[in-house]
Structures are given as structure tokens and as C-alpha cells.
Structure 1
Amino acid sequence: MKMKTMSKSLPIVAILALSSNAYGQEKEREKTVEEVVITTGRSKSRTVLSSPVPIDNVSAAQLKATGQTSFDKALTFAIPSFNSTQQTVSDATAHFDPADLRGLGPSRTLVLINGKRKNQSALIYVNDTPGKGEVGSDMKSIPSAAMQNVEVLRDGASAQYGSDAIAGVINVILKNNVSKGALNLFSGVTSKGDGFNYGADFNTGLKIAEKGSLNITVGLSHQNKTNRAGSPGKDELFGVDDAWTRANPTLGMNVGQPIMTSGSIFLNLELPTSELGKFYTFGGTTIRKGTSYALYRTPYWIPTDYGLLTPSGEAYNGFQPEFLTEVYDHNFTSGWKGKLGQWKLDGSATYGASTVNYEVGNTINTSLGANSPTKFKAGGHQFSNIIGNIDLSRDFGNVFVGFGAEARNENFIAKEGDEASYFESGASSFPGLQPQNAVNENRQNVGVYSTVGWDITKDFLLEGAVRYENFSDFGNNFSWKTDGRYKFLDDKFVVRGSVSTGFRAPSLHQIFYSNVQTKITGGTVANQGTFNNASSIIRNDLGVAKLDAEKSFNVTVGVAVKPTNNLSITADFYSIKIDNRVLFSGDIGYKTGTPGSPSPTNPVEQILSSNGITSLKFFTNAVNTITQGIDVVLNYNHPISTGKLTLMTAYNYNDTKIDGQIEVPTILRNNGYADNFFDRKEQSRITSARPKQKAIIGLGYDWSKFNVNFNNTYFGEVTWKHASDAANDQTFKGKVVTDLILAYDVTKKLKVSGVVNNLFNIYPDEIDTKGDVSTNLGGRFKYPWEVNQFGFNGTTFLLNLNYSF
């Protein structure tokens, strides 16, 4: 009987989360006693419960049972310590949605495909969303249809895998079956009738020669926009209450998910070259094109469009700028693994690349007047890496030894936009990247590691790992890890724990990114400049130090209990201390002077004036944090009548605090910017933007041709903090989102299923401005977006048809 250690949880007092083997899991997997994982830190594969570190092994069927159509959202409803929510009115961020593990930001979770490092996204999140200032992997680019299972290592693993693995590791295992194929069709819509989506994915496997295999997945999907804007009826932000605002109570806003079309193709090839080894190649390409929306340009904001956007004969009524993205993500690995004498050898090369092209539509550059285009190519970003690694390992009886080396080249490119996109005022809503923002930078790093595991007895295991890494831009790092596990009572009770150090290299994006953004601050439309860490303005004028690596110290202690074959319970406490976290500063603007008339005694205002901006931001190492929490997972399954009942409950508590003083550059501290440098609102993105408690309870029942899943996910409260006034803070209370999935086997090959996500139409608390109209941008936003818990689409209905062959 198969036990699953998948994180689904519930709040301590209230809800339990239950999940099941929906849509018919593979029968051969049903026969295994426990799930075997390979993401154990490059040591030998072990079962989940006997692993010395906490690991969740989530099958493709379990991801599908969440009813979510993208990998990042499915994992959110499967792992309590993982979060990803739809962002809105946030430029390209709305097409990616920052995802993180244990609330530590997208940068600190390493994503692997078949055990090999996946490239980071080209996008750095600079809008007011969770994960601001961070860079992560584009998890939307990995189609769920290509996955066999996902292993989530909830422990620091820098000593094994290098940079970015401070919070943990997500390892996507691609399908490799050749005995069957499947065609899946789906479509859905929200209860409000918007957000219509549809798609298809196809998976099949082919035998090559006698023992070779090729598995291929192709997918296409499309989603329409949703809109949950506020209806203020007047514009308090601009102080306007006129005929236009009364005739347009939503102020023309679109607040919701973007329009998006996506296509992908993934493959997984294995070809034996002899009895001793095999060649392999795997990976895929994903293309996404989307449209999101900026703040509506009202007639009292921009008085005319010069007849460029308004149909002839109609009165000018303002316009809705569109933010268009083209996202390309490619990741391919080729290698050979097999036996070299008594040693196991795995050598591979990986190429990964992410490209994001920006286009701004349905808008104008007011500085160009009637000569303005209405669509602008606004530039773009690209990130790529080439990785070569070699791993050797061997069992010496009860001792396992492994070592290896990895070399990596990274490249970050920023491409300027068309001149019209940035000329003077720039395209309204998103001025294009300027020539001075364009960069093409590389760095290299080489790492070597060694690991050893010793089964001292059949019950007592000790492991250790060390890794030395050298980066061409910031220097060296040495990380280590030790972990252990002891089994009692015939493997029914396991005590486990680990201690490790870790690091995260500042991304090339954080070092070299720069741009100018149009933002609304305090009711004023302003151009805000981001200067890169290598610029003379930041390094010389402001005296900001060169970016350095973050360092961490991780401790995990836990137990795993399996009193019967039908029941397993795990509980793990963790503590993660991170020093020198890279942060994106708050707005540094005018204090005493004004744009065009800076104070002669304030050197910061002189810098702003000479660069034609009203405020600036930059990246720097400036904050230490301590994150502590606990994960509890309970799995139970039991035959009932002629069916099978599955119960899964998981719970995560996670708390992050800033440790000590924030390091403010001297020139800013001496000129009154200490509170602005990383203000209360920016701090809250680290400490309270993600739920401190999250729990999932899943209850499933398989009976004959029917399958039912009833899942409850509790998202704990989150707190938005005002930049300067604690009286305007707001805590959005925790809510339970319920999903119902019904499936029926029409024939042995044809299955049909219906999904109702958010069955009871639960929304977050509405924003209470407490008098500060900037909080909801003058009523344009009804629901929170800077601390978004679970989105605000409401109930969604989905229909699936699956044909296997």
C-alpha cells in the first residue's frame, strides 16, 4: 500500500486538509510500500519516511486532483509551505506570479528538472508584489502534463546543489513511460462568467531499439481576463468627483488575471549505449503571450489622446494601456550515466534560457503628441546559463561516497526599447528601457563537492557534505551539511535532523538591472529610477557597497511515525538564519526641495535632479532575517466496502523576523532617509506578505468507476503595513478555500471529471483605507494585491476529458 508524504495542511485549531489518489494513479505505484525519492542531496535514494531530511513526493495525479491548471498553482494547493498567487496590474510580474517556499522569496528555492538545475527567469520582480526585488525560476513554463512526480526537499541544500537552495529544492521528475499515452482536454469559467479558459495536452511514449524510450508531451492553453476592480464612483486619489467618474464607477480599471496563451513541448529520452550505461536528453520549450492592464488613463489625468485612440466621431473618454509580454523559456540537458568500473558516473551539459519581451499597447507618449505611436516595443530581458557537471558515486558496503564538479556560465541581457517608448515622458504606463539601461553581462562559477553517507547500523544513518564554490564576480564560498536519522520499533518511529550552512549568489539581474517606471506615489504621478549596483551613482555618489552573497545557517529536527501500514505522521521543526539578504530599497525621493528645485544642502536631491527623476531605488545587502516554523503531515488510507478512503492532513507554521538593524548607507542616514530606505511596507513583504499558517485537508474516496476528492485549504492571515503610519496597517484574516473534484470512468480509456475550485466563492477581506486613499489607489482596488493570499477570482468551474491509449 502506498503512503504519501505530501504537504497538505490545516490550521492548528480548525481545518484539516485531505487529498487523494485522484483520476486513477498508476497501478504499479499503488503496489509500492513507500515512495522512493532521489532528491536526498546527491546521496543514495531513500524512502520518504526513512530520509534524514523532510521530503514531499507529490504524484502527477495528486497535482491534477487540486483542479489547478498550472504547476505553480497546483503546488500551492498541495504543499502548505509553498505559495504562489495571481498578481495583477504589475506589468510583467502578472505573467509570472512570484512563488516561494517557506516565505523566503523566489530567489531561495532551487528548481531542478530530473535532478539538473533549471535556469532562472529573465524577469526580476520590481513591482509592489510578494517577492519584490527577487528572481526565481519560471515555474509556469513546466507543464504538469509532462510530470511523473515532484519531489520537494524542505531543507537547506547548498552544500549539495550550490546557490539558491537555502529554503529547499523542488525537483520535477519527467514522465518516461512507453506503455501508454493520454490526451486531455479541459475548459473552465468563473461563476461571474469571465476568465474563460480552455486547453489540451497530449503525452505519449515510444520504445526506441530494445531498451530505449522517448516520452513526449505537447500542450496548448488559453485563458481570458477576469476583472474584480473596485467601484468607488469617484476618484479620491486625484480628488475628482465629476460626470465622468459617476458614469464610470470602476474608473475604467481591469483588476484580475491577464489574458494568456501558452504552448509547450517537452521530451524525455533514454538510449542505452551498452550494458553499463545510457545516453539521456530531456527538457522542453514553453512560449507564453499575454496581455495585462495598467491604471486607466482618465480624461482628467491625460486630457487628450490627440484622436489616436478614440474612434472618429466619438468623444474622448480616456484609455486603458495594455502591457503585452512574450515569454520564451527553454531548458535542455544531455548526458551519459552508467558504470565506470565500480563507480557510478553521471556527466551532463545543460542549456537554459528565458526571454521576456515587453510591448506597451493602446497608449501614447504625450511628449510626442499627435505624432505618437499607439503601440511601443519597450525592450526586454534575457537570462541564459550553460552548465556542465560530473558526478561520481560508489557504495562501499555500508558507506556511500560521492563527489563531483560543476561549471556554469551565466548571461544577463537588457535590450533597449524603440526611441518613442522612452522619449521624454515615455510611453504612458511603462516607459521603455533606455540605451543606458541596456547591458550584456556574464559571470562564471566553478563548484566542487563531496558527500558521504554511513549506515552505521540498519537503523542509524549519518551523512555529510561539503561544497566549495568560486564566482568570478564576488569570490569564494564554502558550505557544509550534516544530517542523520535513527529508526526505532522496527522502523515505525524515526528521529531525524540536519545542520547546514548555505549561500545565495546575488543574481546578475540584481547587480545590473536598471530602468525608469511610472508610478503613483501619494497621489502624484512620478518617474522612479532604478540604478544598478555597478553604477557610479550608487557605488560612488551614494556609497553603496558591491553586492555580496547571502549566507545562511539551517537547522531541522523532526520525527516520522508509521504505526500501521495505513497511517504515517511526520513533524519537522526548522530554523533558518540568513545574513546579508539582498533587498530592493524603498523610494528615495525629495525631502525638502522639489523636482526642478532641489535643496542645495541635500546631496541626495541633487542626484535626483541631475538624473531627471523624482525618486530612486537600488539593490544592496542590508538585512538579516530569522525564519522559524514547523511542518506536520498526516496520511491515512483505508479500504471501505469495495472502495478506498484516503485522508491527508498537513500544516505549516512559518514566521520570519528581521534580525538586528537594517544597514542604511551613510549618506542616506545622514540626510534623513533612514526610515525611507527600507520602510515598514517594504519590511512587511519579508515578514507578513505570506500566510504564517497554512493547512490543507484532503479527503478522497475511490469506488468502482467513481472518484471523489474534497479538499480544504486554509490560508492564514496576512498583514499589509503602511509605509510610515502603523494606524493604517490592515490584517486580512485567514480563509478556507474548498475544492470539489468528481471523476467518472466512462470506459477503461475515457475519464470525465468536473472541478469546482473555491466552491463557496470565498474572497479575501476588502481593503480598508482608514483614510489613506493611496492604499487602494483611490478605490480602484477592492481586494488586497500586495499581500494577496489566494487570489480573488472566486468560484471557478472546470471540465476535463481524458482519453488514454
Structure 2
Amino acid sequence: MKRKSFNKKICVLVLSGAGTMVYAQEGVKENSIDEVVVTTGRTKPRTIITSAIPIDNISAVQLKSTGQVTFDKALTYSVPSFNSSQQTVSDATAHFDPADLRGLGPSRTLVLVNGKRKNQSALIYVNDTPGKGEVGTDLKSIPSAALQNVEVLRDGASAQYGSDAIAGVINIILKNSVGKSTVNLFSGITSKGDGFNIGADFNTGIKVAKNGSLNLTLGYSSQNRTNRAGSVTKDELFGVDNAWTQANPGLGMIIGQPETKVANMFVNFELPTGETGKFYAFGGTTYRNGTSYGLYRTPYWVSSDFGLLTPEGQPYNGFQPEFKTDVYDYNLTSGWKGLFGKWNFDGSATFGSNAVDYVVGNTINTSLGGNSPTRFKAGGHQFSNIIGNIDINRNFGAFVLGAGVEVRNENYQARAGEEASYIGSGAESFPGLQPQNEINKNRQNMGAYINSEWDVTKNLLVGGTVRYENFSDFGNNVSWKGNARYKLLDDKLVFRGSVSTGFRAPSLHQIYYSNVQTKITGNTVANQGTFNNDSQIVRSDLGVQKLNAEKAFNITGGFALKPFKNLTITADYYRIKIKDRVLFSGDIGYKTGAPGSPDTTNPVEVILDNNKITSLKFFTNAVNTVTEGVDFVANYYTSAIGKGRLGVIAAFNYNETKIVDNIAVPSILAENGYSENFFDRKEQSRIISARPKTKTILSLSYDISKFNFNLNNTYFGSVTWQHATDPAKDQTFSGKVITDIVLTYKITKDLKVSGVVNNLFNIYPNVIDSKGDVVTDLGGRFKYPWEVNQFGFNGTTFQLNVNYTF
């Protein structure tokens, strides 16, 4: 998928360890050559139309033309197979927003920065959202202002890059231009008058020494909350209809985007050494502070706040717990690339870290009574990795050979909160992490690969890769990939395809995460315990097997067509079978005895009694899936429409995932009647129907004189929420079209002003139909779906941008 390309004669080729990208100098005539990308493999670059596998190459200009403020949302409105939507009332998940390719969950998309692996986030998604039970990369830590462009490889790539690349690879290319500085100011608000945001970013490129460069990006933004809670005046969840519910429509809830403040700094540095070498360093740091909200504690739910939250002299009216996060993300890579004899060499070291600290505010621990704090440090999580890699490649005429090794150390930590946050009943809304939840675990990984590409003839290319991996905690894996491409009609028509195996190592989070949190179970609010896969309770008492790697088999086939100079069309079919997917089990609670019953013999109920919880969950390999789909992209650009230039991008994705074979229920659970609870219909729907099966993007841009006009229409197909036990209570939320407009006026050569309207026609998802099950919408608290979520529910947003270059 492309918007602009550049004159071949003055392009600069920049190598990186895992890939190459073409950057253009300023002032180069546009639309002169096909874009060149490198996430095809780890040898030499290929243009999109001659690549053996499907790739989207998205410029920073195209991302900005969506009008979206954050990188993950801009990518959602640029790539049909990529999805990320705002989450709400989901603890820390509301500050990360799980994102994925091809509906395969956040864990199965590998993210690179300048071709180097970026660290995963510290957070594992355990709330009722898309991506539940998985770990992804914190894409909100990537500032759009630092990006040159983004390459999205839509094919399995474990053989090239290792674990996590089953669905594909997102390669984020940082700016490296010099000689200019840009200041961008922006502010916006929703049509309902909430969600006000304001921010600024600054980018500059500085020449270093004779031919070196330093590109620096700084940014800060602030976003207010939105609220789209229901307006009921009767609480069906608790069965209460009284003066309080009548006086408080919506039952005190705040449901929408969280309050957020973000600060970031990114750098990209290059310094030539000798005639053929180059030292480089790049990376950045992001700090994000957010506030989201839990379920409102009504006076008939929590009967008193002991005068701690209610202003003196006023009647007790309940309280709104706040869930606050401090997220710190760091990523830094340094290395050297150049020639050793006739071999291209790239050696680098990377450090990456993501940490999230939890604070629960405006709440109490009822067990402490009047001595309770109203703000609790509830602990936190941290994930970091240290990576070293060496990549080499060499051309032997029509044959290219590449090889490399990578070593990686990963560390996962969980820190307990202060005692008041977890003692007794714990802080309302989010009991803090306890000392028994603390963990500090490491694992090591070593990988080595060899790959090659051979231009057998002028038109026929074949390639292959084999990779060996060794993980210190579960053992070895070998992945392979074969691909081919054949050109016809003077390169105007290309047929391409690949066959590969892939794998994903279970994350340290999935192996060691444990916690107790407040959840809605049935029509009651209770504490639910998650036990880690390494614990005696899971491994011995429940007989659950040790987590192992997921295995995948991927087939892709399609064509690329360039019927004339300004039009390219690509279409690709894919099929991905994944065996032994790691899943987060459903709620496993009481079956035969009552809580605390002395004659309970059910082993699950014994665990619940001993730990004073009403249900438990854990991670295990248990599901096999098959995902099939089609990607279509058409790109047209011309300068012959009136006095202006027209660009058109049409893109479509169809994607369907099915659970195949039997779900592997641990024998102890099966013997005690938990087969249906283990991974019920609602949990299954997060895999098979929480993301749209179809998504279509039609983007039009028109440049004339000092004006640029962008009109983007994005169709999000339907999604289906499945009831845990009763198919009659399922609900399908119909597909909707979201229209965005961006109008830019160039006041002077260096000063531009843009007006943005996102969701022009104020489109919302279908309203939840509970069909008599009060848990479906939590007694009317939720008006719009949150467990399956297509595009959020903020409605229309207006934004103004001012951009100055000097």
C-alpha cells in the first residue's frame, strides 16, 4: 500500500540488520519508482510489486492523513488486517488497547524498530477485552512524529525473525532526515464536549561531523476522559430500583477513553566510519500517565465510606474508584554496519523495557474501616530484554546468501503493592498484588538462521530460510520458509507465494502471572484468583501441563499487477493453522458445594475455599485454530485531474478464524464437570468473532494549489459476542462505515493548518441488547459493547493542527 515514491537516481539506501529501507532526499519528484522494502527477508531489498510476499509500505504522510492522534489508531485506519480499538473499564488494559494483525491476537505480531526487535509490554491482558490472555507490544509508546514510514509484512515470518511473527511483522522506520525542523501543535474535542486533547511535538535533524546525522523528536500530549455510560435508572444487576438509582441515571458510571498524559523523546543517530562502515544508535523513551475508572460503588453495594470520601456535612452517595497507571517504555539500539571483505555485516545490541505501576485512588479497603487509606500503591509489572545480534549477507551474482545469530535475555517482574491495598478484602475495584504474586524470572534464548534468494532467471525468484531456536525454559524449535515469485509482461504482473512454519514461545507473563482481582461472576461481584503455570495448584492439584510453544503452518499465495504507471493492484490469500494456542481459561468456580462447605471434596472447590476466592483461572495450551483470509490493495495516483493531483487507495481484508479439533480440557477438570466452564462460548468468541471478519478502506486525496483534501472511509464489519452458555442470548453488532476528513491549507511555504473531523457522521456501535441477562450489560451500565469492539464509541471528534517547518 503506497502513497508516494521517489526519483530513482537520488535515493539513498540505508541498511539495517533485519532489513533495508529507501529514504528520499528533500525535493525529489514523487511517483517515479516503486517503493523498496526489506521485511521480505534478511538479504537484499525488493520493490513491493516484485516481492515474493505481501507487504504494506505506509508513509508518515499517509498515517497523518487518517487524522488519528496515536500511531496504533492511525495504523488501524490504514491497514485493513490490523485492528486496535479503545478499551474501557478494564484496569490497565484501557491504557494499552490490545492490537493485532489478522485477528490472531497481540502476541502473534512481531514489532521491529529500524529492523530490530522491540520489547513487549509489561502488561498481560486479563480483562474481558479482545486479546484477553495475551501480551503485545506497547504501540502507544511510539510517537507518530518520529516515524518516516512503516512496513507491514502480512505473512508468517518466524523463520526470519523468530518467535511472535506468526501473523506478520510491523517494522517501524524512524526519521533520519537533516537540515529541517518541524513544530506541530494540535488540539481537539468530541462533539459532546468531552475528551479535550492538546499536544505538541518537535522534530529536528542535525548534521553531525561530515556525513553523520542526528534526528531528534520530542513530544507531549494530554487527553481528557469521555463518558458514554448507559442512562438506566434501575440497577438490574443488583435488583435495585430506589431513590438513589432514580437520581443517578447511569448508576454513577464513567465509561469511555481514559485521561492520559504522554511525554516522549526519540533519537536516530548515524555516523560513517571509514569508507564503508557506519555506527548507528536509535531508540526512545515514553512516559504515560493515565486514569481510568472502575465500577461505581453505589450506597447499596458498599454501604459506607466511613466518612473518608464524602465531604463533611453531605450524605454518603457511593464513590467512583480510579485506576491510575504510570507506564514507562524504553528502547535503545546501537551497532555498526559495513563491509567485511565482500560480506555486508551488521552487529548490534538492544535494550528494551516496559514497566507499569498501578495506583488505585478515590476508594477504600472496607476491611480497614475508618483507618483505610483512600489511595493505594497496588504494585506493578516490568518486562525487559537485552538482545545481541549479528547479520551477514553477500551477493554471488544472481544468488544471495544471508545468515545470522541472535541471543536474548528476558526478564519479567511483578512487585507487590502496599499492605493496605491487599489485606482483608483489599482495595475496592483492584486489590493490590500480594507478596505471593511477586516474581522475578529470567530466560535466555539463542537463535541462528540461514537464508538465500536465487534469481533463477530474469523472471523467476526462489528463496528459503531455516531458523533454529533454543529457549532455556522449554527447549528447541526449528522453523523454515520457502517462497517464490514469477514475473510476466515486463514486470507488470507478478505471481507470488510462500509456505512456512512458525512458532510462538509462551511469554514469561503467561507462565508466571498471578493475581486476585474483582470481577463480575454471574450476578455477583467477587474476587477471582489467577494462578501461574509454575505453581503447585495449577501443575499438581489441577494436573495442567507445562506451557509449551505454539506451532504454526502458514500458506500464502497471490499476485501483484501494475497495468499502467500509476496503478498497482495486489491480492493475496492466506491460511494459518496454529496448534496448541496458549489461552487464558474461563471462570472455574463452585459446582457441588457451597463456598466454605466443610464436606466439599471437589478439588477445585477445595482450592477456592483455601484461597478465599469464588473462581480461578490459569494459562494452558489447549486450542487449535485455522485462520483463512484474503487481502486486496489497489493504489492509484495521477496528476491529471483538473489542476490538481488525485490519489486513491482501496484496501480490503476478509479474515475468519475457527477453532478446530477438541479443546484440550485438563483431565481433573473434565472429571469434575468443568469441561464447559474451562473455555466457554464467551471466551471462544474472543478468538473467533471479537474482531471484524471484513474491513474495507477507501482513501481519497486531492492536492490543488495550497489545499490538500483527504477523505477516508473505513468499513468495520460485524462482530459477534457469544453468551457463555445460551446461544439465544448472542448478539451480532452490525458493520458500520466511519468517515474521516482532513483539510490542509498551506498558508506559506513553511506554515500549514489542518482541520480534522473524525467520524464525521457520528457513528456508534449497536446498543447492547441484554436479552434478559443482566450481566451482559452489567445491569444497564454499559450502553455499547466493550468485550467485542470495532471502533470505539466516542462519536465525532474535531481537531485542529498547526505545522511549521524551518
Where on the TM-score scale, by shorter chain, does this alignment land: which range?
over 0.9
Matches of 1:139 and 1:41, distance apart in 2: 23
Deviations 1:481-512 (A, max 9, x none): 00010000001100000000000000000000
Secondary structure in 2 aligned to 1:28? Answer: coil
8 Å contact 2:287–2:328 — kept in the other structure?
A: yes
- Which residue identity lines up with residue 92 of structure 2 in the other structure? A
8 Å contact 1:4–1:635 — kept in the other structure?
A: no
Q: Given the alignment of the two structures, is residue 492 of structure 1 paired with residue 487 of structure 2, yes or no?
A: no
- Which residue identity lines up with residue 163 of structure 2 in the other structure? S
Q: Given the alignment of the two structures, is residue 315 of structure 1 paired with residue 276 of structure 2, yes or no?
A: no
Q: Given the alignment of the two structures, is residue 286 of structure 1 paired with residue 286 of structure 2, yes or no?
A: yes
Q: Given the alignment of the two structures, is residue 684 of structure 1 paired with residue 682 of structure 2, yes or no?
A: no
Correspondence for 2:515? 515
Matches of 2:25 and 2:360, distance apart in 1: 45
Secondary structure in 1 aligned to 2:421? Answer: helix
> What is the deviation of 1:27?
4.2
> What is the deviation of 1:719?
0.1
Correspondence for 2:643? 642
8 Å contact 2:3–2:59 — kept in the other structure?
A: no
Structure 1 residues 3 and 306: alpha-carbon distance in aligned structure 2, compared to 1, 3 A threshold: closer
Deviations 1:737-786 (A, max 9, x none): 00011000000000000000000000000000000010000000000000
Correspondence for 1:704? 705
Correspondence for 1:84? 84
Matches of 1:702 and 1:222, distance apart in 2: 31
Matches of 1:679 and 1:243, distance apart in 2: 38
Structure 1 residues 464 and 599: alpha-carbon distance in aligned structure 2, compared to 1, 3 A threshold: farther
Q: Given the alignment of the two structures, is residue 400 of structure 1 paired with residue 408 of structure 2, yes or no?
A: no
Deviations 1:577-620 (A, max 9, x none): 00000000000000121211165231211111111111000000
Structure 1 residues 337 and 598: alpha-carbon distance in aligned structure 2, compared to 1, 3 A threshold: farther
Correspondence for 1:254? 254
- Which residue identity lines up with residue 778 of structure 1 in the other structure? G
Aligned ranges 1:256-271 → 2 under 5 Å: 256-271=256-271
Correspondence for 2:730? 729
8 Å contact 2:453–2:461 — kept in the other structure?
A: yes
Secondary structure in 2 aligned to 1:773? Answer: coil
Correspondence for 1:39? 39
Correspondence for 2:616? 616
Aligned ranges 1:545-556 → 2 under 5 Å: 545-556=545-556
8 Å contact 2:744–2:755 — kept in the other structure?
A: yes
Structure 1 residues 26 and 255: alpha-carbon distance in aligned structure 2, compared to 1, 3 A threshold: farther
Correspondence for 2:275? 275
Correspondence for 1:223? 223
> What is the deviation of 1:237?
0.3
Deviations 1:297-342 (A, max 9, x none): 0000001000000010010000000000000000000000000000
Q: Given the alignment of the two structures, is residue 57 of structure 1 paired with residue 30 of structure 2, yes or no?
A: no
8 Å contact 1:2–1:33 — kept in the other structure?
A: no
Matches of 1:634 and 1:657, distance apart in 2: 28
Q: Given the alignment of the two structures, is residue 660 of structure 1 paired with residue 661 of structure 2, yes or no?
A: yes
Correspondence for 1:17? none
Correspondence for 2:95? 95
Matches of 1:696 and 1:165, distance apart in 2: 24
Secondary structure in 1 aligned to 2:28? Answer: helix
Secondary structure in 2 aligned to 1:610? Answer: helix
Correspondence for 2:478? 478
8 Å contact 2:2–2:56 — kept in the other structure?
A: no
8 Å contact 2:186–2:799 — kept in the other structure?
A: yes
8 Å contact 2:505–2:549 — kept in the other structure?
A: yes
> What is the deviation of 1:525?
1.2
Deviations 1:114-147 (A, max 9, x none): 0000000000000000000000000000101000
> What is the deviation of 1:798?
0.5
Structure 1 residues 25 and 326: alpha-carbon distance in aligned structure 2, compared to 1, 3 A threshold: farther
Structure 1 residues 369 and 390: alpha-carbon distance in aligned structure 2, compared to 1, 3 A threshold: same
Aligned ranges 1:423-502 → 2 under 5 Å: 423-502=423-502
Structure 1 residues 488 and 113: alpha-carbon distance in aligned structure 2, compared to 1, 3 A threshold: same
- Which residue identity lines up with residue 458 of structure 2 in the other structure? K
Structure 1 residues 172 and 29: alpha-carbon distance in aligned structure 2, compared to 1, 3 A threshold: farther
- Which residue identity lines up with residue 745 of structure 1 in the other structure? K
Deviations 1:62-88 (A, max 9, x none): 000000000000000000000000000
Q: Given the alignment of the two structures, is residue 747 of structure 1 paired with residue 748 of structure 2, yes or no?
A: yes
Matches of 2:517 and 2:527, distance apart in 1: 6
Correspondence for 2:108? 108
Secondary structure in 2 aligned to 1:152? Answer: strand
Matches of 1:383 and 1:300, distance apart in 2: 40
- Which residue identity lines up with residue 616 of structure 2 in the other structure? L
8 Å contact 1:592–1:599 — kept in the other structure?
A: no
Matches of 2:424 and 2:678, distance apart in 1: 28
Secondary structure in 1 aligned to 2:199? Answer: strand
Correspondence for 1:15? none
Secondary structure in 1 aligned to 2:775? Answer: helix
Correspondence for 1:717? 718
8 Å contact 1:2–1:29 — kept in the other structure?
A: no
Correspondence for 2:673? 672
Matches of 1:25 and 1:645, distance apart in 2: 23
Matches of 1:598 and 1:456, distance apart in 2: 75
Deviations 1:43-66 (A, max 9, x none): 211101110000000000000000
8 Å contact 2:2–2:57 — kept in the other structure?
A: no
Structure 1 residues 412 and 637: alpha-carbon distance in aligned structure 2, compared to 1, 3 A threshold: same
> What is the deviation of 1:349?
0.1
Secondary structure in 2 aligned to 1:370? Answer: helix
Matches of 2:598 and 2:102, distance apart in 1: 43
Which deviates more from structure 2 when the two are superposed, residues 55-64 or residues 635-644?
635-644
The TM-score normalised by the length of structure 2 is 0.97
Matches of 1:216 and 1:642, distance apart in 2: 37
- Which residue identity lines up with residue 398 of structure 1 in the other structure? A
> What is the deviation of 1:25?
11
8 Å contact 1:205–1:214 — kept in the other structure?
A: yes
Correspondence for 1:766? 767
Greater relative contact order: 1 or 2 (C-alpha under 8 angstroms, separation 6 or more)? 1
Matches of 2:281 and 2:795, distance apart in 1: 41
Correspondence for 1:604? 604
Secondary structure in 2 aligned to 1:395? Answer: strand
8 Å contact 1:3–1:568 — kept in the other structure?
A: no
8 Å contact 2:299–2:318 — kept in the other structure?
A: yes
Deviations 1:23-46 (A, max 9, x none): x99642725411111211212111
- Which residue identity lines up with residue 248 of structure 1 in the other structure? N
Runs of 4+ in 1 over 3 A off after TM superposition: 1-5, 24-27
> What is the deviation of 1:179?
2.3
Which deviates more from structure 2 when the two are superposed, residues 476-485 or residues 598-607?
598-607
Aligned ranges 1:325-404 → 2 under 5 Å: 325-404=325-404
- Which residue identity lines up with residue 221 of structure 1 in the other structure? S
8 Å contact 2:119–2:353 — kept in the other structure?
A: yes
Correspondence for 1:13? none
Correspondence for 1:628? 628
8 Å contact 1:586–1:679 — kept in the other structure?
A: yes
Deviations 1:621-650 (A, max 9, x none): 000000000000011122212210111100
Deviations 1:245-300 (A, max 9, x none): 00001100000000000000000000111112010000000000000000000000
Aligned residue pairs, count: 787
Matches of 2:793 and 2:453, distance apart in 1: 47
- Which residue identity lines up with residue 682 of structure 1 in the other structure? E
8 Å contact 2:197–2:223 — kept in the other structure?
A: yes
Secondary structure in 2 aligned to 1:775? Answer: coil
Correspondence for 2:166? 166
8 Å contact 1:3–1:566 — kept in the other structure?
A: no
8 Å contact 1:739–1:759 — kept in the other structure?
A: yes
8 Å contact 1:590–1:598 — kept in the other structure?
A: no
Matches of 2:598 and 2:199, distance apart in 1: 55
8 Å contact 2:590–2:615 — kept in the other structure?
A: yes
8 Å contact 2:3–2:62 — kept in the other structure?
A: no
